[in-house]
Structure 1
């Protein structure tokens, strides 16, 4: 039983104890000499009712903002219900209580024990053979329950204090948690980019769109990078050439797309020297055996242009590696881990193969053989009902410059886009996905079925051409870059374009990037931005001409990342939530 589930049990046990006390007096209340002792029983009931209400208030305060208001009412009214057993809710509570969770959990357990002891003593007096005198002893002598009541009262008071103090500190902790999350995301994004590069064993040019997302996570001080990474995933759309079947004699190559989800998979830790010599105990005479992973290998051939490629996919179909490691010696473990699970995915071949076969749950594994650590990422297809052969990409700049061709960006769409872009800069800064100078030319949307739809604004992407490079924008490195962080300055310019719905005049007739011209243009538009929103204007000002610019300090710096989140992303999020 989880800690938070026990909290629900405790909350539900107090009314049962009160009910037992109310019925406890039946049969003795009619005796004249015992009536004076009913006040003691009623006092105990009132005290328990008071602690019940206070405990309900504690849990209600803990749940506010973490679950829907309707669920709070259900949880308080039904403390033994299924919502108290949801892992997601408990994780949010743990994050809110920060380092106080263990103390909170132990206090709940103390209250539970006191209630159980009081309940058992009452129940022990309900035997029909017990005299009325024995039945009255519990009520007559206060010291029989005073210690337990004191435990309950003090415990609830401690829970109130813990809850109040932690909620007061939550906003600052959330900022620090986001900073930790962004650091893990940058590490993961760079790692799976390297793994993605090695998965293309072809001469094709693939467009790879990484979906930008507004992210948050319930992180506690006890969570390490691997624990945080386990819950993260990235969404991508990858283009590839497919053959039409309308004319089997003369098939034509068309551009198709496949949406995939990339998740970090469990990586077996290295075995300690002491573990390498540990074998199964010799006491048992049963025949010992080692179960090796078995893999099913499927081979297929596809043609693209004038080249033919044979693809072999390795599919794991047995017990997960981590369940076998304890029973393997170092030599066997290394062999299994690197010769089997370490087989990297041929992504281009897999996409062509997937076009010809039935739906599958997984495409395989991407492997990043980094000197510091080998990481693996499972690749899963994201189902789509649209014909991906009719998809195309359109840049944010084109949408802003050619308004008649595309659906208008609503004010809420602009705020959402601003939040996603600014958050993604912190998530991807320093990785190959994000250019150091971000412009509206780098942000794209996938237009499905050749039909512009406002829904496409909900998922912007950064586009890369792999395997191989792509032309980087021409950057005019003026003296301003010594005083301004180029990434922050360019982000501020993009945010201005988004909220005003047009490109900067300084970018109207050139393909390169002139930071000085952009800075001057941005300064001239601040009053217009302020008319849209004071929070938005403050966020843009922090990027363009604020205190966030620190010489020689990049966004990978934890303090600067935290300040950018509070001074830019959080302000934009506030506007979005209020829109």
Structure 2
């Protein structure tokens, strides 16, 4: 029942459903109000109207009007962010854990809600984290989320809304005390998008459509909060307008008010969604109980239904393992386990990819809409007609298939218990408890290996049309992970070796060298020595019209550890731990000990032998093999982008090659950190199958690549090399340089490129395949490894490989091969 009284400030319970309403324990409205919400007829709609339309939900309001207009001192003690802290404490104290929450907020109340969710997510107390985890929906009414063409930043948009609500003439002291200049404004805006994606709650935006005359908001007769400012700029927020100004958009005269019908319709939809999820969980629990009771008729249906359960559970396990990995990365004594968690996460991702492909093959003859429902929404697996079709399709293997599915499901549930996950596979632990005293890594990895083996066995029951190469490719590719994680060390040393023996005063050659970017392949033998492809320019000079050398000597550079020499002085040497190939055992071994003393001399000689000699650098030998002279016509990839239509196949090839190139060349003089497509070259005679980086080894060029001060405009970029890769992938997708994508909303200042990138990163989600779009997002917004965003950190490098290179390779592998 309602309390009958609404407090001016703080939390008020205005409606409690009767005990017999089953949903009463599963939904909660928290209505955030700044001013008196009484409408023109004295209607307080959360109490007078909403309780009748949503009678199975508990309704609370939080008032934060306080004494903000009575002076600077009181305002300073009760700004928006202080209220957020108080509301969080109230919800922690008065709300049962696990109860879904729907927030409704007008104007600055939306900023308060975003701050509550941010603080909840960052808390180390699980009961506080449960608030953001249980958030089901957020409804914004005229909330200023960001700046606009009229209000340069979010702080200015905040001031405009506050001036209107307070009915003051933008008093600077009061507005500053409210939090208008607080850095938490921008922090809340950025974190909300991340939390929205992470916890997958619903968001609805209502915008004002009428201006307010007589209010000191820049220019009279303008919207207090513009549509640009009140929008999160995301299609999932489903924004629409209310026929009212900023003050009246939250005040309704009755149930027939068109504006109330709009708002209440959305709220009823959210409550019904919560009810459907609750009923679905109850049905699933009943089915499981029937299965455990040994009902012979229900057993096969339950078993086939487990396919959909596995499609849900494996991604949840991946998220949980990532959660553990994030935890150990912040604890010095646990960092030794960090890479193991990353490897486990990758193995689960490989298992999921294999399992999804097998499931798609299993239902390949069904209509596309049904396949989409089964695979992407995990629904419909219990349909009796589908059960019969699957049983007939699998034939004699159906019983073995069912047993394997059951075993894999049991192992997943075992890992669920070991990770202490809740019944819905959500984490019930916080950052500190998840790596407690009983930590035993072996028991986790053992179960994950068993899950992967189970998925492999499941795939063996698929029809013969399943392409074994695709499945094996995903299994074998991680074998080469360490090779690709450590290849950069060799490209860096190779550059130093070439630079040290290419004389600066030589007038015979142009001193150009180019290195080919290679992509990860599965045809490399396990004990094969690492190698790269390099070319040295043969031209005596380059004409003004030619720009780049045409004559090149292509060679293969094969790496091998130099034989150890016994010396009296002890010396510490650092070398890649993962690439330790014995040169006498490697398939492409080279035992030559002839040292190259001068690159120019080597180029002048007409060698007919297989190995021209070796370069030595930091305990490693770099053998120059298989010299072949070619004429090359080099063109920057940026020119190709603007003058050619790039096909899907070419775009996928270029994307994977560029990402692999970053892995090979980051933090080396071969590739500057803020590189562009004009730093990458193709040979017009080879097409886009091979990409090159080009360097000139003279004193002037080498000085240009010395470390220097970074431009301040790029301080907001987490990793400049990955950001440049993300920009390159966006330019490949839309077939034009970033500057050509500029709109009026991007303004014209130092941050314009970043606005373009952010907008296109959102747009690509609808224009590209999900894993390609996700790879672009991870380039622009990579996750930290501990507190680092550096590829020099092995954990961060593994994340990049896992979240960018591997998805791009999957896209590349799925392309049909062209047969000659």
Q: TM-score, normalised by structure 1?
A: 0.48
Q: Which has the higher helix share?
A: 1
Q: TM-score, normalised by structure 2?
A: 0.35
